[in-house]
Amino acid sequence: MMDLDLSAGVGELTAWLVDLESVSGDEEPLADSIESVLHQLPHLTVRRDGNAIVARTEFGRAQRVALAGHIDTVPIVGNVPSAVRDGVLFGCGSSDMKAGVAVQLKLAATVTEPVMDVTYVFYDCEEVESDRNGLGRLSRTMPDRLAADFAILLEPTGGVVEGGCQGTMKARIGVRGKRAHSARSWLGRNAIHDASEVLDVLRAYQPRQPDVDGLAYREGLNAVGIAGGVAGNVIPDECVVTVNFRFAPDMSAEQAANHVRNVFGRWEVTVVDVAGGARPGLRRPAAESFVTAMGGTPRAKLGWTDVARFDSLGIPAVNYGPGDPTQAHTRGEYVRIAEIEDCAVKMAAWLKG
């Protein structure tokens, strides 16, 4: 395999990245290549942590933007090496998100005098458990080097700016009863029957649709699990409803937990996990100019994404990158080369001011 050559076009760069396999946990060869080419760029200072790399300009500009992308992919399913047909590049990770990484690398190589400082973040293990996530690790090991006024994750968004993300919280609502033999049910209290009151609260719940930084979010509070029962001849003394609360980024994780505790105040509430959302920050100058430069109407991101890791550092963030997000994780994953080029051209123009 040839060395990584940043003078190639972004389509060729993407193909090169796809061909160097980097399934989560096996990113080292790709991280080595990326670190090596970045070290050759005199306008960047480069730091590495495991298989994550942070490269920054240090011009002392008034604003700093972070451009971030994960370098790992889901497991390969016969879709490496890459193939090009009619301007479409096929291969594992082509859309999610080696096309975005190619854009990052191209910008790093060519935008040598940006109007704002730029932090390029390449990280590992995004496609696996949250506690292995490379961006999460960087936020703990080198938060100062991630600091920025605004962050862009180059995940595939089909060319639309997706702002921030909603938070997510899981909690268990425990309903207690009293056991009895089912032939004498009146001696007990049926916790499953009583759980219908929890479900009634869920059915009657009116979720908010707040506007945050100009984007319309849409919350939801839903049962995602229910379990109860001891044996076929026993009136059950416990039923647990697991609920998932998706909350807009104007609410903190703590506020969300308190809200759920209030909604189900009559029962035992156990918060299982909670991850705060991310404000889109689209009214900050860097973000406003980015949205204008990219064109189109930004939309709110409803699912939780890694932009929330930037938010936990106080950095508003958006998703924007080449590729169709619905192609991610499929055997036939692809990206249109023209889309990668369009993204690279627009972002370079924006960074050059």
Among 67, 257, 302, 315, binds its own copies (CB under 8 A): 302
Q: What is the DSSP letter of 127?
A: S
Among 45, 244, 252, 330, binds its own copies (CB under 8 A): 244
**Least distance (Å) from its own copies to the CB of residue 103?**
26
Residue 149 a catalytic site member:
no
Nearest to 284 by CA among 160, 148, 106: 148
Q: What angle do CA 294, 298, 302 make, to 5 degrees?
A: 135
Among 103, 154, 161, 195, binds its own copies (CB under 8 A): 195
Q: What angle do CA 226, 232, 237 make, to 5 degrees?
A: 55
Indicate the length of the chain as a whole number. 353
Active-site residue (options: 27, 126, 333, 341):
126
Report the run of H or E that residue 289 belongs to, with start and end.
Answer: helix 285-294
**Interaction of residue 181 with its own copies, rule CB under 8 A:** yes
How many residues bind its own copies, per CB under 8 A?
43
Among 224, 265, 292, 297, binds its own copies (CB under 8 A): 224
**Interaction of residue 276 with its own copies, rule CB under 8 A:** no
Q: What angle do CA 103, 353, 288 make, to 5 degrees?
A: 85
Residue 288 a catalytic site member:
no
**Least distance (Å) from its own copies to the CB of residue 178?**
13
**Interaction of residue 166 with its own copies, rule CB under 8 A:** yes
**Interaction of residue 232 with its own copies, rule CB under 8 A:** yes
**Interaction of residue 170 with its own copies, rule CB under 8 A:** yes
CA distance 340 to 334: 11
CA distance 180 to 326: 50
Report CA Rg, the chain.
Answer: 24
**Least distance (Å) from its own copies to the CB of residue 273?**
8
CA distance 131 to 49: 15
**Which residues make up the interface to its own copies (CB under 8 A)?**
166, 168, 170, 181-186, 190, 192-193, 195-196, 199-200, 202-203, 218, 220, 222-236, 239, 241-242, 244, 246, 302-304
Residue numbers annotated as active site: 72, 126
